[in-house]
Copies of this chain bind each other. A is one copy, B any other.
């Protein structure tokens, strides 16, 4: 446990009053953001404070979050995100253009995000310091950040990049090469609504005592 003396005990901010079930069950990817309505720093701090409270291995706290507010940096990052998004689709499906995306594809909205990232009011990038695999110490914090955003009415989506652009992203933000990148989260006030998502019933994604054995609620 590092920096023991400098650690703090944060109280829950009163703004995070939404019932946890409401936040979880209405969380959805918000990719259409109001580019003209800013998010104030106080709200950004609430999201980061919430992220800091998530569990992490041995309380070593390897998570680091880069908040990008500067319009010119977001514009340049947005161009790299667009390139990364299409590089990933090229690798996976051979797509190079929107006309390659099948009608009704789950990628229709993400393709719009690839266009709109340049206009996101805020972009948060999540990293870990140290050299071990730290996904179990980073993504719980990311989910706290997203849920706290939901509770404040701030839209977000958990998204990734592609190796093709990483060197340029690191250079753009002066990120040391030994730092590990995990994900990218645009933030903004939603154009559109939070609301229900569709999921497989947990009777099908939960096993009981042994693999492939159904839970009691499978009926």
Which residues of A approach B to under 8 Å, CB–CB? 1, 3-4, 6-27, 29, 41, 44-45, 48-55, 57-59, 61, 63-70, 73, 106-107, 110, 135-136, 138-140, 142-144, 146-148, 151, 157-158, 160, 173-176, 179, 182-183, 196-202, 204-212, 215-217
Contact = CB atoms under 8 A, between A and B. Distances in A.
B24 A209 contact: no
21 contacts: A4-B198, A8-B199, A12-B24, A16-B22, A17-B20, A41-B216, A48-B206, A52-B202, A53-B199, A55-B157, A57-B160, A58-B106, A59-B197, A61-B205, A63-B205, A66-B207, A69-B208, A135-B136, A139-B142, A173-B211, A174-B212
A54 B8 contact: no
Interface SS of A by simple majority: mixed
Q: How many copies does the complex hold?
A: 2
A143 B140 CA distance: 5
A63 to B, nearest CB: 6
Contact of A174 (B7, B157, B179, B211): B211
Contact of A12 (B22, B206, B209): B22
A55 to B, nearest CB: 5
Nearest to A172: B210
Contacts of A110: 58
Nearest to A10: B25
Nearest to A150: B20
A160 to B, nearest CB: 7
A100 B97 CA distance: 60
